[in-house]
Structures are given as structure tokens and as C-alpha cells.
Chain A
């Protein structure tokens, strides 16, 4: 225990330095200026939400959204509900099977929808900085619009988008914590502004409509929380949710607009001035010192936290665990992991090669556990499966389009892995005397890897199956990674047919399976899609052939097929 603590590298919390960096950078000022400009010009509001495009410099485009304050000051019943919308189904991930959007924001967004498609086209042309910003519900619309831009993958690679909202209510229940997109959103929230937490159940939420739900809001992106004393950045959704709840329940009086211009002016001064002298406190470590000071800066001193039943120790330990987790992840760099994976694959290649000497493929070697090396192979299999399950999970945690882009880079490597390793899983399964791998055991990550491969990689057309494939066949991995499962099922069918207590129905279905299997194998052979290793003397495939040949020879009515003649003529000797 002592040793572990010694090894623990101290961490730091950078919420305030990041907050001050943002405040001093002029970035949010330029966004806010345009919002104020638009608000000033907006006389009699024809619509509850408006936007305008600004070009303060050739390298910078700003799109500002503003909403009339009616929407937040007198919210209608049901405004806080979460609705599903087909427009935002692209936000679904493994964790959030359906993405729901706040009704008020969605209504405003849909009312602008036609205009926005024109704007989208306009923005696909620009390069350089693109700031999409908005205040209050206008900010919510800005967020929704940014999400659509990201999903459409419409922007030029040289265009850098950033969505900055001021005092915007939470827009929905979906998770972007594992997505790149999360980094494009910054939400500025004052501790005097109840609007961001408006639709939360504990806030001043308008009454919900019957049978609807308004729990399940989840913040995303980075929050710049500020008070009179200063500001700090957080991106932990649970912490942000809790703080927003407190803010919206505490602010007394009616809902009136908070002056973000004034807040920013004060913050900018604070960021370069010396902070207020602070109570002489002993901190356990720099990390907890950081968090305590940061929360204090945004108006959450210890007394207030206690009042609202927020346990600072729990906050610190959650944040610390999260930070350690991320540091750990960064440490094992991608390059290093990739090298380890390559090593394990090379080990398996060697195993495969050596198995041939024993006159059986690596599938049967592993199934029969003939040598000590099989134990090591087990380890490689575990490592590789762990790695690839992780990669697949990463894709699933991302919104669909982003996941697709992310995976194309390694879908080939994933396929090689699937073809090499899945046969080992099959071998272990049938070694235990079990049945029907495809239905009972096949792991989801194999299914997805196969599905993605089939989506991404177009099979070459038939006439392209030229000599090169024929020449290479001796060194390929069998393309269908479930080939051996089909072989095993065929063996079981043969055994069943031969056994005495096989009833008519079972016999019929077994025979059908076998005929199908024959066709399947022949097709694989014609396509040069199976490794010639299957024809090695002691392989399970040859075992099946032995059983099958014996059976058809004893059958009364003769059965012929291409595969039977291929096998009987020993044409496989010329294969590969």
C-alpha cells in the first residue's frame, strides 16, 4: 500500500488556468460582441429566434443566434420535455440508444430549419475560424446547428469550428463524452444565471406535460463557470449537472437576463490581477488544493457545498480517479500498443506455420492442445481480443458517422485479426463438446468487425479473380472466419446421421445441412477463399470428409456434387 502511494504521481487540476486562458484570449469577447450587436438591432421580433453571419476578418466567420427572452421567462408547459427527433438520431450511441432533445430548443431549431440548410451550404465554402455562438435558447439552437454541421461532415478540413454559448439551457439527453465533437463546444455560465438549469426537475422547470419525462438531461462539451471572483472550466457532466441544479434553485427573484458583457469585463481584469488572499488552509495534495480553490472561485465555497449536500471529498476523489484513468490511458501510447499487437500477431503466424509440420492446421493444433506452445497461444489470443474489443467499443461510443471515419483506418487490420483469431475461439468452443457456435457463442465484436468490413470493402468483381489470387492462396488466412464452425457442425451432422438413434426428422435436417455445407465449401474453393491448410491430413475438414465419404458410399441412392468429385479426384492437391 505504502509503495503504491509512493508511486502515485501527484496530479494537478487545471480548471482555473484553462478558464483564465479562455477569458484572456479575446475569443469569447468577439463572440459576445456579435450577439449583443444582433440583440441591439433586433427591434420588433418577427420570430422568436434570429441569426446573422458576421465576417470580422477574412480568416474568421461568426454566426450568432439570439432568441426572444419570452421563451425562458414564461416557459410554456411541456417546454422542458425531452423529445425524440429523427433529425438528431445521429447522436445515438451504444449508451444512448435514443437521443432526446429539449422541446423548446427543438421547436426553435425546426422553425429555422429551411433557412439553416442555406446557411450550411454557405459555410461549406469557408476556411479558417468559424465561431457559432448564441445566447440563452439562441445558444441551444447554435449547439444543435453545430451538431448538424459536424454530422454532415460538411466543413472544409481547413475550417476550424467552435461553438460558444452564453447562459444556454441544457439541450438534451445524449452523451458525447467519447466523441471528438465534445471538444468543439464551450458553454459560458454565470453563477447568477438560472437559465442553464431551467429545465432540470429541481430547477424552475415549467410543468411537464402528462406522460412525458424531463429527467435525463446530460451536459456535454466544456463549461466555463464564472462568478464575481473568477472562473474555471469543467467537463465532467455529473459535476456540471449538480452545479447547474444548485445555481438555478438558488437564484432569487424573477428570471432576468444576466449581463454577460459585464461579467466578462470583470473576469478579464480578475485573470491578470492578484486573487483575493485566501484562508490559510493545509491541503492534502495539489489536486485537492486545486479543486477546492476552483470551486470557491466559481462561487461554491465549502459552506455552500455542505448546504446542498455536495460532498467535496467525493467530488475530489471522482475527479481524481477520472484524471488518473486518462493519464494511464495516455501513457500506454497508441504506437506502443500497436507494436504489442503486431507482436502477438507475429507469434500466431509462427504458430500457424509450425502447425503445418504436424500435418494439421493451427486450428486443429489448438483444438487438440498437442503441445506446450498452445498455452502461450492462449495468452496471445487473450491480449488480441482485449485490444480489439476495446477498439470496437470505442467506435460504438461515438456517434455513427464519426465512428465510421475512425474505424476505416484499421478495419483491414481488424479483419486480419478476425480471420486469425476467431478460429481459435471456435476451436476452444468445440473442444468442450458444445454445439452451434454461431448462435450460442459468437462474440459481438467479431460480428461488428465483419459487418464493417463488408460495408467498407467492396468485393472485387468475379472476373477480377485472376491468377494473382490463385497464386497467393497458399499464404492466405481463410476469409470466412467462421469456416471452422461450419466444418464442426457438418461433422456433428455426419455423426448424427450415422448414429442408430437418429429419427427421420433429424436425419432430414442433417442431410440438408450437409448439402448446404458442400455448396458453401465449393464456393469458397472456387473463390480461392480458403487456406489450403484445410486439406492437411489431420485437419478437421479431412475428418469430416472421411466421415461423409463413408456415409454417402453406404447410402442407397447415390449423391453427386462438385465437391465430392473435387475431393475424390484429389484435385485439392493442385489447390494452392
Chain B
């Protein structure tokens, strides 16, 4: 016997209320969204209208722009600041039409929802079919911009098409918002898979079938297998491509192949609940697994073909009844330990196996699910390795670095300059530590970029603190090395792209994101690079006004950073490169009151 839905933190009543309002709102022609406070429940439900117009699913590519057969666009960073990759600053991709529909109602929605939040109600956003993506974006909006004392919003969707790409899902999981989203999907429903295929005439057929205003409304489609196999072929392409990577495919032709195939960017995210069609609910949290299931659950045998194609349409219309029945039965199976699921159809554990049989998962499909489970296990193993091993070693090296720094300060010029001279054995040893640390961080950065660590690892405060400590302590040495070897002569300013090691930029991004500070505001570890750069520029006679202002700015930043202790006072030692350059600078390079503060601080040291 299965379990209940209690683990989801959503009661049957709420889900039922959401389902009926979602259906009602979907067909509403006048209201873009409906808000209800069901009696006896502590929640407010907000549901969104849908549309069957093709333009509301796939935006037309404006002429002259690069064609996007999947209708994706980069999400607007102002409204959704978290939905990006921290590694390379790339924004998440979302479906342009869905985003446009959200933007159109965004302000009127915000007004009404804020009122409900004021009444201490938890808000549940919901939507059916193309109403669902708007519900998803609305939920994300309130997660990104929370009202004071707001209890986190929830989102429940029924038969939702896919909305965002892999970065989108990664960012949601990183922010730990994944559990706020629950998506109900019927086994054969075509709509949750439709975004895996590029916009085509078959899509028009599908939308027309559902569209009450179309002449083809609910009319049998001529060759039902045509549209279904087109969608499934594309779903298979995405599922197989991801599976190759999940399974660690080492055949080099895969790389070449990537240039010859066009893949949908969209990927599932959040918790999926598959309705088997016999009242059972199968819960899957692993997004890679969901993608595989979207393909493998909907496969058919050659005999079933025509019937399945018909079901792929009819099941999209059957959510309300199916949900009601399933909630009544409360026969729920959680597919949690995917790496342990049985491969053959008579394997154990029995409940899991029956559920997989109910969904028609073939041995190949089950192997793919196992691979998704193994990937999660590998991620947490990597995380353990960092926590149990690398962390101590990094801290050990950083302690050595601090000793080196203290010792250098007693010689009156700070470790930056000592390292730059590179005269003593200590400098060599510090260089060793620098390289050891770079090794650890480069490896961790590689893991993060390859998604080989849990998504929320980037948000771990321990990790950010350690990284920031590392960046502030060691980056000055990288800069010293850079200018000691006069690399700027060939390649230019240190902070320029391609010069500054990516690990520092990445770690700085993590901190800025965590503190919700603008990009570039935490560049204190590049202080020395700016000093070196200005030192060269101010040497020239008739330095432009712009540089003078920038040097003033540097002085102001210096005071700010010294005060919040993100920069060490060693920069102010009498024999440091900074002091030797800054002190004799004429007054137009300095601003008050910072300049006097700096002078005072320099002399305190004497």
C-alpha cells in the first residue's frame, strides 16, 4: 500500500480547491486571474486564465533577429534577479510568450496579492494548461520580492507546459524554492511535453483541438499519430541527449553530434506528481528523472499507437476528475531512491515496481532513472569530500598565509610587496600555498560548472565565507605575481576578462548574490590591481580628469573597505607600493575627508 500526500505539506482540500479554481480561471475570458479564499482553509488561491492562441505559446520571432523555434528568451534580471547562473552570470531562458503574459498582469496582480498577504493568508498560485506558466512566474516573483511577514507562496499546476531551461531549474533549486512547486501530470498528456518540440504545424493542430473557438474544436485529428510522434520524437531527442550525459557517455561522436542537432532548451523543475490513470500518484523530485519519465511513460507499443495518440489529447481534459479520485484514494508512491529502483519488471520493492509498471517504464527507462539517482549520489559524495577533507586543508593553508602576512608586516611593507619582490624562502612557500589553494578551488569550480555538486551548495554560508576569506587573503598574491612578471605589458589590466582567474570572479559573484549587492561591489580583493594600474597611468604628465576622479574613488573605497574590515591595514604600511605612490600625489587626486583619514591611518602605523 502506498503512502499519503502529507509529506508534500499540502492538504487534499487545498489541492482540490486549486484544481477547480484553475479550471474555472483557465476558461475565463474577462478576468486574467481569479482570487478566492475557500471557506475553512487558511489559504488564498489565485488562478490564471489560459489561451489556445499560438502566439501565446510560441512568440513569433521578430524579423531580423535570430530565429528561436522554441520561443525562448532571456529572463528579465530586474524582476527575477536570482534566476541566473552564478558561474558565468548567464541569465535563465524562459518561454517568451509566457513571460509576456505574466508581465501584462504583473502590477494588478501584485496589488491584490499584497492585500491578501496583509490578511496573513498563505497564497497558493495555481493554473491549468497555459494558465500554469503564469502561476509559476507569479510564485517566483513573490519568492524573489517577499513582502514582510509573508509566509512563502506555493504553486500547484495541472498539465503545465515547460517554462524554463536548465539554468532556470538550477537557480530555483539553488534558492531552495523547488519544494514550493508541485506539478500534476497525467501519464500521456501531450501538453507537458509540447515544449520539447520546436514550433510546427502539428502544434497548431493540437491547440486547435482544444480551442473552443476553432472550427477543429474536439474534432478527431486526421492522422493522430503524426503530431504525437512528432512531439515524442523531440522528447526522445532531449531525453536521450541528457541520458547520454547522465550515463557518462564517453563516445567522442557525441560532441560532434551536438553541432548537428537542435535541442529544446526547456527542462522540468520542481516536484512532479504523475497520475497513473488508475488512481495512483507517483511523486518525483529529481528533475532529471522527471524529464526521462516524460519520455518513457508516454511510449507506446505498436499495437496501441492510435489509441495512445488519442489519449494524449483526452487526458489533458481529465485532470479535475482524476485529481479528485486520486486524492480520495491517497495511494501515493515517492520515487526517492532512484538509484535503487528495479530494472526488470518483476523486481522489488513491490510498491515501487508496481508504480513503474503502471507508468509503463521499460528497462531502458529504468536504467536512465537509476542514472539520475546515481548522479545525485555523486553530487552529495562530492560535497562530503569538500566538507570533510578539502575544507580542513584549505583552512590549514590559509593559516599559513596569515602567518606569512603577519611576518611580512613586521618588516614594514606588507605581504603584497614582499611577495612581489619574491626574495626570501617564505615568499616561495607562500607561492606554494597559493598554488595548492588554486588547485582546490579550481577543482571545486569545475565541479560547480559541470553541475557535479548539489544545486544549493553555492548558497552554503560556510562555503561563501571560506571562499571570501580565500579571495581576500590570496588574490593580492596573484596580483603581485601578475605585476612582478609584468604580464600587464602583454595582456593589459589584471581585472580584464581573461586575466583575472575565474575562480575569484566566481567567488565574488557568490558573495554579491548572497548579500543581494550589485555586481562589482565586492571587488576589494582587486585593490592592488587598481593601485598598480593607476600607478602607471598617473605617472604620465597631464593625466585626464577621469583618472583623477577614479583615484579619488579608490581612496573612498579604501576607507570603506578598511572600516568594514574587508581589506587589511597592511596596505597602509610606510613602504608599501600604495603609500609610496599615493602620498606624493597632488591634491587633485584626493578627496576629503578620506584623504586625511588615510594620512592619519598611515601615521598611526609608524
Contact = CB atoms under 8 A, between A and B. Distances in A.
B346 A280 contact: yes
Contacts of B229: 269, 272
Contact of B435 (A22, A131, A286, A339): A339
Interface in A85-107: none
Interface residues of A, number: 65
Interface string A385-414: 000000000000000000000000000000
Nearest to A289: B343
A271 B253 contact: no
Contacts of B248: 11-12, 14, 323, 327
B200 to A, nearest CB: 13
A346 B432 contact: yes
B253 A21 contact: no
B233 A353 contact: no
Contact of A13 (B237, B247, B438, B446): B247
Given A335-B443, A336-B443, A346-B435, A162 B256 contact: yes
B525 to A, nearest CB: 20
Interface in B214-236: 229, 232-233, 236
A160 B364 contact: no
B431 to A, nearest CB: 5
A268 interface: yes
A18 B438 CA distance: 36
A115 interface: no
B451 interface: no
Contact of B299 (A10, A184, A273, A277): A273
Nearest to B302: A273
A185 interface: yes
Contacts of A12: 246-248, 367, 370-371, 374
Contacts of A336: 439, 442-443, 446
B257 A277 contact: no
Contact of A17 (B244, B261, B425): B244
B240 A17 contact: yes
Residue from A12, A14, A18 with most neighbouring chain B CB atoms (10 Å): A14
Interface in A325-362: 326-327, 333, 335-336, 339-340, 342-343, 346-347, 349-350, 353-354
A277 B431 contact: no
B256 A275 contact: no
Contact of B240 (A24, A129, A275, A350): A24
B543 interface: no
Contact of B233 (A184, A272, A326): A272
Interface string B249-261: 1111111110111
B432 A21 contact: no
B293 interface: no
Nearest to A354: B425
Nearest to B228: A272
Contacts of B367: 12, 286, 289-290
A131 B256 CA distance: 11
A491 interface: no
Contacts of B37: none
Residue from B253, B254, B378 with most neighbouring chain A CB atoms (10 Å): B253
A271 B363 CA distance: 14
A275 B435 contact: no
B253 A233 contact: yes
Given A235-B252, A272-B299, A293 B363 contact: yes
Given A9-B378, A18-B240, A272-B229, A281 B344 contact: yes
B383 to A, nearest CB: 15
Interface residues of B, number: 56
B190 to A, nearest CB: 13
Nearest to A332: B443
Contacts of B237: 21, 24-25
A20 interface: yes
Given A222-B251, A235-B253, A350 B428 contact: yes
B436 interface: yes
B172 interface: no
Contacts of B374: 9-10, 12
Nearest to A179: B252
A134 interface: no
B428 A27 contact: no
Contacts of B240: 17-18, 20-21, 24
Given A22-B257, A160-B256, A233-B251, A14 B443 contact: no
A566 B360 CA distance: 89
A353 B236 contact: no
Contacts of B249: 14, 17-18
Given A274-B301, A333-B446, A350-B425, A18 B254 contact: yes
Contacts of B300: 273-274
Residue from A15, A17, A280, A336 with most neighbouring chain B CB atoms (10 Å): A17
B236 A280 contact: no
A186 interface: yes
A158 to B, nearest CB: 10
B423 to A, nearest CB: 9
B1 to A, nearest CB: 24
Contacts of A233: 251, 253
A17 B247 contact: yes
Contacts of A277: 345
B362 interface: yes
A277 B367 CA distance: 15
A263 to B, nearest CB: 17
A327 B246 CA distance: 13
22 contacts: A11-B248, A12-B367, A14-B247, A21-B240, A24-B240, A25-B237, A162-B260, A183-B252, A183-B256, A233-B251, A235-B251, A272-B229, A272-B233, A272-B299, A273-B300, A275-B362, A281-B344, A289-B363, A333-B446, A336-B439, A343-B432, A343-B436
Interface of B: 229, 232-233, 236-237, 240-241, 243-244, 246-257, 259-261, 299-302, 305, 339, 343-346, 360, 362-364, 367-368, 370-371, 374, 378, 425, 428-429, 431-432, 435-436, 438-439, 442-443, 446
A-B pairs, 3 with minimum CB distance: A183-B252, A12-B247, A339-B439
Given A17-B243, A17-B364, A274-B360, 18 more contacts: A10-B370, A12-B374, A24-B240, A162-B256, A180-B252, A183-B255, A183-B256, A234-B251, A235-B252, A272-B236, A273-B302, A282-B344, A283-B343, A286-B367, A286-B371, A293-B364, A340-B439, A347-B432
